[in-house]
Chains A and B, each alone.
Chain A
Amino acid sequence: MIPVDYYLFLSLALFTIGVIGVLTRRNVIIMLMSIELILNAVNINLMVFSRMWGTVDGQVFAIFIITDAAAEAAVGLGIILAFFHNRETVLADEMDIMKW
């Protein structure tokens, strides 16, 4: 049986890739994809500990998170489309309207 550490490191690697993607990529769509990576890193963590303790709580949470991710992707893409209509850009560093 593969020890838990392996999974945790895989999860950590995915999470780090996701965070770096969100922080460095200018394209908002890619930032959304990176957020999916972060969420799936969390999902792996939940599955591992669920498996380890022999309960289903983690799996239930994982399903919730997948649902949430789908909803988030739908809403996020909608926002991006609307924004593109108005500003003709999907680049995050050109979006500064949240400034004071």
Chain B
Amino acid sequence: MNAPYFLEHIWLIPLFPLLTAAVMLFYGRKLANNIVSYLCAGSVFVSFIFSVGAFFQLVAMPQGERFFTKVLFQWLPAIPYHMFDGRLANFVASWEFQIDPLSAVMILVVTGVGFLIHVYSTGYMAHEGGYYRFFGYLNLFMFAMLILVLANNFLMMFVGWEGVGTCSYLLIGFYFHRKSASDAGKKAFIVNRVGDAGFLLGIFLCSAVLGTVRFSDIGPTLRAGHFQNGDPWLTAIALLLFVGAAGKSAQIPLYVWLPDAMEGPTPVSALIHAATMVTAGVYMVTRTNAIYELAPKAMYVVALVGAITALFAATIGVVQNDIKKVLAYSTVSQLGYMFLACGVGAFTAGIFHLMTHAFFKGLLFLAAGSVIHALSGEQDMRKMGALSKRIPVTYWTMLIATLAIAGIFPFAGFVSKDLILGKAYEQDVLLWAIGYFTAGMTAFYMFRLIFMTFHGTSRVDHEVEHHIHESPKAMLVPLVILAGLSIVGGLVSWPEILGGNSHFVHFLEPVVGAAHDARMEPLKGPSSRIGEINLMLLSEGLVVLGILCAWYLYIKRTELPAKIAKSLNGFYELVYHKYYVDELYDALFVNRAKDLGLALGWFDTNVINGVGVDGAGWLARFVSRVSMWWDTWIVDGSVKLGARIVWVLSFPVRLIQDGLVQSYMLFIVIGLIGFLGYYFYLAHYAVH
């Protein structure tokens, strides 16, 4: 049977951005800005069209068979090796693109949100240098991200995984002439390497234990029945993979790079550090859910790390003054929610939150970028205020996104967050409590941001005040579209309890697999339904309370926050300085690494260079000195002695060499006379 066109050509989706990225990075310098814009945004749009086509052709397949895989070519030839249990396995890795409901959702989010952010960037970056470079990196990122989500084996996924990391590094350090930006890029890269080490070990262990790195083989291998629930090897694989996920998705203890990553241009923060790349960890955990299902301990670790990260980052977000830093910690916090969802087995809820988060957090960043744009680069919220009338479109769209992230009914964030909290409540009340409390804090700090930025009295610098202007259309249109998605995004999985049918969750269920259904007892009884409603009301109440607190502190009694900060001085300082985690890491790892470098440097200078190189040099000099002495006194001396002897012996001969022409002439004449005399003598006497 011939496969439908868009599924058969699924591999084209990442290829379009790759082509334009290549054009940009090789020839971009010579292209005009508007050509760059059309090429780059256009290629992502084509990818989006192909993604939509693939999505609908996938939906057209019967439920339960929605899976398609396309091998482009074999990458590594089959390599036989022995697994841990002694069986022989073949290590195979191909460039194999797969599409199932999970990948379909991911490519839609990546290309859709990615396209909007590309459009936004044409406005935002219009006056920046390196326009083509920016778009080249951005398209390269799209390529890597699409490879990541379309891969059907760990190796190919790792290619995308490292590709997005590289692009993230390049884009964080986009303003490379700024030291803080290049430092932030390095930090992101190095912290991610720590995670990637775990990810790689996880892949190795997976191939050694399961005998395959192909995603669609992992499930059947596990179901074949060689593994107990809670098998230690599986737990180890799951934990190692989670180390990788925690690095990429900025979870404790590897979250430190994400707030610094805000040094990059704002569209980058929106696309890479909010909507897509940082969710790769959540995607990867969901993709390998079959392993996690058999490793409950690892699941619990994932849930706990997620919940603690959510709360921890939220507390830091409360006291930040940089508008992008608030959003960055908010992102870390929301990623914590997604891992909490995965950890309690609600993978679909995690992916659902991933999608809605892509909408409203992408929007928040873009709107923040618009605010920064309007204020000529000002990012400090203490120098904002009363902007709601000056930049109304930005204000309204950002307000919608804030309502969505806070989880106000009926915005997208409400549906996904309550889905997670509901599942968490079924599993573990403690985890639910952390998530619940974090929801209140999220509402508080997000509305703090809104109030400080758009309401109250203006604290804008005088000269900046004159230049406040609404952003160009290219920036506003994506804002409006994303605002629309933030409102209606929840409808695709409207909870059954409120008269919906949870389409999205059911759509994803085949990916999550049978093991999930068997373990998770779906609470369908009437009592649990009431519980679900109660939980929703409870969280709505807390969210409203958080908003009221923010209103009271930042509109009504603006002098209060400073007083509270003063009365809680020590604690406030601790949180304001982000719990001194960066300083702790500096003391524990960074400076120790530097010490190691210094020690190795000392070793190089003193041992390798001192003993090795300088010692060899000294030895060579010493030997040559001995040889020189031998030459001077023995070889030269014997030659000179011979010359001296000849000189002494030639003394009498030298006497007649007086240098006068006439004396030589005299000798000639004497010789002539002598010869003549001899011949005369012969002539005279020889006759007789």
Q: Do A and B bind each other?
A: yes
Contact in complex: A98, B661 (CB < 8 Å): yes
* Interchain CB contact (< 8 A) of A96 among B660, B665, B666: B660
Chain A residues, CB < 8 A from B660: 92-93, 95-96, 98
User: Quick check: A98 and B659 within 8 Å, CB to CB?
Assistant: yes
Q: Give the one of B657, B662, B665, B669 with max A CB within 10 A.
A: B662
In the assembled complex, which residues on chain B have CB atoms less than 8 Å from the CB atom of A100? 654, 657, 659
> Who on chain B is nearest to A96 by CB?
B659
| CB of B224, distance to nearest CB on chain A (Å) | 109
Report how many residues on chain A are interfacial, defined by Cβ distance under 8 Å. 15
Kindly supply a per-residue 1/0 record for chain B positions 279-320, scoring 1 wherever the CB is within 8 Å of any chain A CB and 0 otherwise. Answer: 000000000000000000000000000000000000000000
Q: Given the complex, which residues of B lie within 8 Å of A92, measured CB to CB?
A: 660-662
A99 interface residue (CB < 8 Å to B): yes
B463 within 8 A of A: no
Distance of A99 Cα from B655 Cα, bound (Å): 10
Complex Cα spacing A26 to B660, Å: 10
Point out the residue from B662, B665, B669 that lies within 8 Å of A93, measured CB to CB: B662
Q: Specify the chain A residue showing the minimal Cβ separation from B654.
A: A100
A66-89 interface (Cβ within 8 A of B): none
Question: For B654, what are the chain A residues with a Cβ–Cβ distance below 8 Å?
Answer: 100
B655, closest chain A residue (CB)? A100
CB distance from B73 to the nearest CB of A (A): 89
* Chain B interface size range: 10 to 19
Q: Judge if A1 is at the interface, Cβ distance under 8 Å.
A: no
Q: Please give, as numbers and ranges, the residues of chain A lying within 8 Å of B662 by CB-CB distance.
A: 22-24, 26, 31, 92-93
Contacts of A26 in B (CB 8 A): 662
The A-B contact count (CB < 8 A) is 34
Contact, CB under 8 Å: B669 / A23: yes
Residue A8, interface by CB 8 Å: no
Could you say which of A24, A26, A95, A100 has the most chain B C-beta atoms within 10 Å of its C-beta? A100
CB nearest neighbor in A for B673: A19
- Provide the residues of chain A in CB contact with B661, threshold 8 Å: 28, 31, 92, 95, 98
Known: A22-B662, A93-B660. 18 other contacts (CB 8 A): A19-B669, A23-B662, A23-B665, A23-B666, A26-B662, A28-B661, A31-B661, A95-B659, A95-B660, A96-B658, A96-B660, A98-B660, A98-B661, A99-B657, A99-B658, A99-B659, A100-B654, A100-B657
Give me the interface of A with B, judged by CB distance under 8 Å. 19, 22-24, 26, 28, 31, 92-93, 95-100
Some 18 contacts from A to B, beta carbons below 8 A apart, are A22-B662, A22-B665, A23-B665, A23-B666, A23-B669, A24-B662, A28-B661, A31-B662, A92-B660, A92-B662, A95-B661, A96-B660, A98-B657, A98-B659, A99-B657, A99-B659, A100-B657, A100-B659
